[in-house]
């Protein structure tokens, strides 16, 4: 799923306003300044727009890493 | 229960707060900033409220409760944040009926247990609700005389009413809620707080009951119900009927603050003031607070408002 990760990286750069950001599947809130519960909502809204999907709160509240988010996008894209 | 109470008296249970904050730090690090913000509002009172509420919960529901509640709080807060984001996009609350909320939320035990536990912690874990809790203690509880008869409408988890019983000597409480899970949880907490002899919980729609059979009451508590109603003036009317002349009420509500079961969208503080005045009540105190941090680019500030009301005996007072 490298194409998902690449597009996801662009979303992270936009949301956290850092063009130099390079995420991996293990990237978590501990690695990015400002990834709090409110910014998480902004991140998910941007992901929804970028990938043309929509998530419920329960699907995304427990996500811990960028890899979790990537897997969720892949599963949703496959289903759609 | 006795052992736990002894622990509280000796101060050992001050670690309950530490345990809760640590659970959030480890399991839900994205939520930690908000929790620390709430703690900073008033560290001493934060510890006091948290210890009181957590101690009751631990006694009522057993080991693992702190962690379970932390999880529920994070899920609830996440639901609220997402509902607010959808509200920002749509410009209005999701269009739901009261009956729909009752069927899908209030009468679903598993959903309600999680929902109530999450809300229970927002009383001190949300910074702006911490301010509402301070207002409740300083401006409402201190006005209640020993032996007061208090009626709580939509008692939910029961925390507000139990706090009143805990603070006011010989006060007694009649509390009503339409959710079986709420009655079960509040009854269990009352027992854990050793206040069950002064608290009565009934599965009843307070807006449909004969208020003469319950009142007149010295005081009324109604926390965050009004925005869940299709016709909020019915609640003010019931409060006006329940109170004795000069009786007081503590009422909270949400303004431009979305939630899965918020139906009535209040936009201005004055809307609640006018509703209260229309039903024979005088607003003697008011506090409206919003979170310091909001969604990026937000056009709505999700506020919580608390009113202290008094039943008028004259046209204007």
For A22-52, the pLDDT digits (tens) are 999 999 988 999 999 999 999 999 999 999 9
Backbone angles phi, psi at B221, to 5 degrees: -125, 135
In B, which residues are within 8 Å of A57 by CB distance? 75, 78-79, 81-83
Which residues, 6+ apart, have CB-to-CB distance to B132 below 8 Å? Answer: B123, B252, B287, B289, B304, B306
Q: How high is the pLDDT of residue B262?
A: 94
Among A35, A56, A57, the residue with its CB nearest the CB of B30 is A35
Asked if B30 lies within 8 A of A37 by C-beta distance, the reply is yes
Q: How high is the pLDDT of residue B300?
A: 96
Q: What is the mean pLDDT of residues B96-107?
A: 83
Cα Rg of chain A (Å, integer):
11
pTM, whole model, 2 decimals?
A: 0.92
Q: What angle do CA B31, B37, B38 make, to 5 degrees?
A: 95
Global ipTM = 0.87
Q: Per-residue confidence at B6, pLDDT binned at 50, 70, 90? A: very low
Residue of B nearest to A55 (CA): B82
Asked if B30 lies within 8 A of A40 by C-beta distance, the reply is yes
Q: Per-residue confidence at B10, pLDDT binned at 50, 70, 90? A: very low
In A, which residues are within 8 Å of B85 by CB distance? 41-42, 45
In A, which residues are within 8 Å of B81 by CB distance? 37-38, 40-41, 57
Tens-place pLDDT, residues B257-290:
999 899 999 999 999 999 999 999 999 999 999 9
Tens-place pLDDT, residues B82-98:
999 999 999 999 877 88
Q: What is the mean pLDDT of residues B162-178?
A: 97
- Which SS3 state, helix, strand or coil, does residue B297 take? coil
Q: Is residue B14 scored above 70 in pLDDT?
A: no
Average predicted confidence (pLDDT) for chain B: 93
Q: Tell me which of B24, B30, B86 to substitute to probe the interface with A (most A C-beta atoms closer than 10 Å).
A: B30
Helix intervals (H) in chain A: 2-15, 37-51, 57-60, 66-79
Q: How high is the pLDDT of residue B229?
A: 95
Average predicted confidence (pLDDT) for chain A: 90
Q: How high is the pLDDT of residue A79?
A: 67
Pairing of strands B217-222, B149-153: parallel
Q: Give the whole-angstrom CA distance, residue A77 versus residue A53.
A: 8
- Contact in structure between B150 and B218 (CB atoms under 8 Å): yes
Q: Give the whole-angstrom CA distance, residue B314 versus residue B76.
A: 43
Q: Tell me which of B72, B78, B118 to substitute to probe the interface with A (most A C-beta atoms closer than 10 Å).
A: B78
Pairing of strands B172-177, B149-153: parallel
Asked if A38 lies within 8 A of B296 by C-beta distance, the reply is yes
In angstroms, the Cα distances linking B44 to B130, B177, B182, B291 are 12, 32, 29, 20
Reading the block at residue B292, the tokens are: 């310091």
Tens-place pLDDT, residues B58-85:
999 999 999 999 999 999 999 999 999 9
Asked if A28 lies within 8 A of B31 by C-beta distance, the reply is no
Per the document, the length of chain A is 80
Among B75, B83, B295, the residue with its CB nearest the CB of A61 is B75
Q: How high is the pLDDT of residue A3?
A: 87
Among A29, A37, A39, the residue with its CB nearest the CB of B78 is A37
Q: What is the mean pLDDT of residues B144-169?
A: 98
Asked if A36 lies within 8 A of B30 by C-beta distance, the reply is yes
In angstroms, the Cα distances linking B278 to B239, B245, B254 are 12, 16, 19
In angstroms, the Cα distances linking B234 to B35, B220, B237 are 35, 15, 5
Reading the block at residue B298, the tokens are: 């937000």
Q: How high is the pLDDT of residue B2?
A: 44
**What element of type H or E holds B159?**
helix B159-167
A35 at interface of B, judged by CB pairs closer than 8 A? yes
A33 at interface of B, judged by CB pairs closer than 8 A? no
Asked if B294 lies within 8 A of A38 by C-beta distance, the reply is yes
Backbone angles phi, psi at A36, to 5 degrees: -105, -175
Asked if A28 lies within 8 A of B29 by C-beta distance, the reply is yes
Least confident of B7-16, B209-218, B301-310: B7-16
Q: Where is pLDDT greater, at B2 or B247?
A: B247
Q: How high is the pLDDT of residue B266?
A: 97
Q: Is residue B11 scored above 70 in pLDDT?
A: no
Q: What angle do CA A15, A21, A22 make, to 5 degrees?
A: 120
Q: Tell me which of A35, A37, A63 to substitute to probe the interface with B (most B C-beta atoms closer than 10 Å).
A: A37
Closest CA to B88 of B254, B267, B302, B298: B298
Tens-place pLDDT, residues B121-131:
999 999 999 99
Backbone angles phi, psi at A44, to 5 degrees: -65, -40
Q: How high is the pLDDT of residue B215?
A: 80
Long-range contacts of B90-99 (CB under 8 A, 24+ apart): B92/B265, B93/B258, B93/B262, B93/B263, B93/B265, B94/B258, B94/B260, B96/B261, B96/B263, B97/B230, B97/B263, B98/B228, B98/B229, B98/B230, B98/B263
Q: Per-residue confidence at A62, pLDDT binned at 50, 70, 90? A: confident
Among B34, B83, B296, the residue with its CB nearest the CB of A37 is B34
**A17-42: string of b/e by CB count within 10 Å (b at 16+)?**
eeeebebeeebbbeebeebbbbbbbb
Share of chain B above pLDDT 70, in %: 95
Distance from CA of A65 to the nearest CA of B (A): 11
B30 at interface of A, judged by CB pairs closer than 8 A? yes
Q: What is the mean pLDDT of residues A43-64?
A: 90
Q: How high is the pLDDT of residue A80?
A: 62
Q: Give the whole-angstrom CA distance, residue B271 versus residue B303.
A: 13
Tens-place pLDDT, residues B194-243:
999 999 999 999 999 988 889 899 999 999 999 999 999 999 999 999 99
Q: Where is pLDDT greater, at B307 or B104?
A: B307
Q: Per-residue confidence at B106, pLDDT binned at 50, 70, 90? A: confident
């Amino acid at each position: 799923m490298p194409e998902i990760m690449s597009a996801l990286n662009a979303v992270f750069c936009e949301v956290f306003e850092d063009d130099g950001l390079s995420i991996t599947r293990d990237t978590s809130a501990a690695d990015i300044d400002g990834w709090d519960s409110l910014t998480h909502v902004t991140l998910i809204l941007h992901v929804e727009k970028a990938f043309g999907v929509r998530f419920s709160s329960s699907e995304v509240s427990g996500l811990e890493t960028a890899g979790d988010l990537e897997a969720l996008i892949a599963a949703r894209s496959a289903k759609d | 229960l006795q052992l736990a109470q002894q622990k509280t008296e000796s101060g050992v249970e001050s670690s309950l707060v530490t345990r809760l904050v640590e659970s959030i730090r480890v399991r839900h690090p994205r939520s930690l900033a908000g929790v620390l913000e709430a703690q900073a509002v008033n560290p001493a009172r934060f510890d006091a409220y948290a210890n009181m509420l957590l101690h009751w919960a631990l006694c009522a529901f057993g080991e693992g409760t702190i962690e379970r509640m932390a999880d529920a709080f994070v899920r609830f807060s996440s639901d609220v944040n997402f509902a607010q984001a959808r509200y920002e996009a749509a410009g209005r609350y999701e269009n739901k009926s009261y009956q729909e909320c009752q069927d899908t939320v209030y009468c679903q035990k598993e959903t309600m247990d999680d929902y109530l536990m999450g809300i229970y912690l927002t009383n001190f874990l949300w910074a702006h609700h911490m301010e509402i809790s301070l207002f409740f203690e300083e401006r409402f509880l201190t006005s209640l005389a020993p032996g007061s008869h208090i009626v709580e409408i939509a008692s939910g988890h029961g925390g507000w009413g139990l706090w009143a019983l805990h603070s006011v000597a010989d006060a007694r409480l009649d509390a009503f809620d339409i959710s079986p899970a709420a009655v079960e949880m509040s009854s269990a907490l009352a027992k854990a707080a050793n206040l069950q002899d002064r608290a009565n919980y009934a599965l009843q729609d307070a807006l449909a009951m004969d208020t003469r059979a319950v009142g007149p009451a010295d005081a009324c508590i109604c926390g965050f119900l009004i925005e869940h109603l299709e016709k909020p003036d019915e609640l003010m009317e019931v409060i006006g009927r329940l109170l004795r002349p000069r009786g007081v009420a503590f009422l909270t509500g949400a303004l431009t603050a979305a939630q899965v079961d918020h139906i009535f969208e209040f936009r201005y503080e004055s809307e609640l003031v006018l509703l209260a005045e229309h039903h024979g009540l005088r607003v003697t105190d008011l506090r409206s607070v919003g979170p310091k941090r909001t969604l990026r680019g937000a056009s709505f500030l999700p506020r919580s408002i608390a009113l202290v009301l008094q039943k008028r005996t004259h046209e204007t007072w």
